[in-house]
């Protein structure tokens, strides 16, 4: 089975509780401490097996193989990936059966993560996620006053649009944001704006 490690918690001793997202399930697994184990890390894509036992509700994680990409060793790129994947864990917490959309989205990101500024991949993917969940407000109606936004758009958490004058925060040009919401492209945003969008994403899914 293949999946992405979205969370690692320390259990007693050096044992670990590891959460993995696969195509249609989210698994909480247990790994006993052992020197013979391969190294694992948050964000790794792995091939693995689960061993169920009558003694525990949590299956044991076995035969782990890291399905590595070259960029996994690039510190900054990996760090952004780990931040991003952690939001999936928080967002899907306690849901066992998940739609395969989430795994497929991670697959797409994992492939594209090395191509460019990974924050662009993250934001474009996050917009797809919002759309999939029916939470993408591409009508550009202000969240605060409920009137149409004609030019500068400010974004709240989960990319909720509002007038710049209504929430007094950073703002973006409407056509650029429309390009992002409709075509899932960050092409028209410069790196400074990308950083702002990333900060908004980091407020939480
Ligand atoms: Zn408004």
Q: Residue 56 pairs with which residues in a beta bridge?
A: 53
Q: Is the pLDDT of residue 35 over 70?
A: no
Expressed in angstroms and rounded, the spacing between residue 156 Cα and the centre of ligand 1 is: 12
Task: Please tell me the CATH code under which domain 2-66 is placed.
Answer: 2.40.50.140
Q: Under a CB-based contact definition with an 8 Å cutoff, are residues 86 and 6 in contact?
A: yes
Domain boundaries, the chain: 2-66, 71-201
Identify the three-state secondary structure at position 111. Answer: helix
- Rounded distance from Cα 147 to ligand 1 centre (Å): 6
C-alpha of residue 183 to centroid of ligand 1, in Å: 24
The CA-based dihedral angle spanning residues 15, 16, 17, 18, taken in that order and rounded to the nearest 10 degrees? -150
Three-class secondary structure of residue 123 per DSSP:
helix
CA of 34 to the centre of ligand 1 (A): 57
The rounded Å distance from CA 162 to ligand 1 centre is: 5
How much is the pTM? Answer: 0.94
At 6-27, the pLDDT tens digits run: 999 999 888 999 999 999 999 9
Cα(127)–Cα(205) distance, integer angstroms: 10
List, for residues 120-150, the tens digit of each pLDDT value: 999 999 999 999 999 999 999 999 999 999 9
Q: How far is the CA of 140 from the centre of ligand 1 (A)?
A: 10
Mean pLDDT over each residue of the chain, to the nearest integer: 95
* pLDDT one-digit tens code per residue, 148-202: 999 999 999 999 999 999 998 889 999 999 999 999 999 999 999 999 999 999 9
How many angstroms is it from 205 CA to the middle of ligand 1?
Answer: 22
* Calpha distance 111→21 (Å, rounded): 16
Q: How far apart are CA 25 and CA 98, in angstroms?
A: 5
Distance 150 CA to ligand 1 centre (A): 10
Grade residue 118 by pLDDT with cuts at 50, 70 and 90. very high
201 alpha carbon – ligand 1 mean position (Å): 21
Confidence of residue 53 (pLDDT cuts 50, 70, 90): confident
Task: Give the pLDDT confidence of 61-108 residue by residue, as tens digits.
Answer: 999 999 999 999 999 999 999 999 999 999 999 899 999 999 999 999
Whole-number Å distance, alpha carbon 185 to ligand 1 midpoint, is 25
């Amino acid at each position: 089975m293949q999946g992405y490690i979205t969370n690692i918690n320390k259990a007693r001793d050096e044992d670990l509780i590891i959460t993995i997202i696969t195509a249609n399930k989210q698994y909480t697994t247990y790994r006993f401490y052992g020197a013979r184990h391969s190294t694992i890390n948050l964000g790794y894509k792995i091939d693995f097996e689960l061993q169920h036992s009558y003694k525990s509700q949590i299956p044991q994680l076995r035969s782990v193989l890291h399905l590595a990409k070259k960029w996994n060793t690039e510190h900054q790129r990996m760090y952004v990936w780990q931040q991003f994947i952690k939001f999936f864990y928080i967002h899907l917490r306690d849901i066992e059966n998940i739609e395969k959309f989430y795994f497929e989205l991670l697959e797409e990101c994992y492939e594209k993560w090395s191509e460019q500024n990974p924050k662009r991949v993250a934001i474009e993917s996050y917009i797809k996620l919002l759309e999939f969940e029916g939470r993408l407000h591409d009508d550009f109606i202000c969240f605060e006053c409920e009137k149409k936004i004609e030019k500068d758009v400010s974004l709240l958490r989960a990319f909720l649009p509002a007038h710049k004058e209504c929430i007094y925060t950073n703002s973006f040009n409407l056509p650029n944001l429309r390009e992002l919401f409709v075509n899932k492209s960050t092409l028209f945003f410069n790196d400074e704006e990308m950083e702002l969008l990333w900060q908004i994403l980091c407020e939480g899914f």
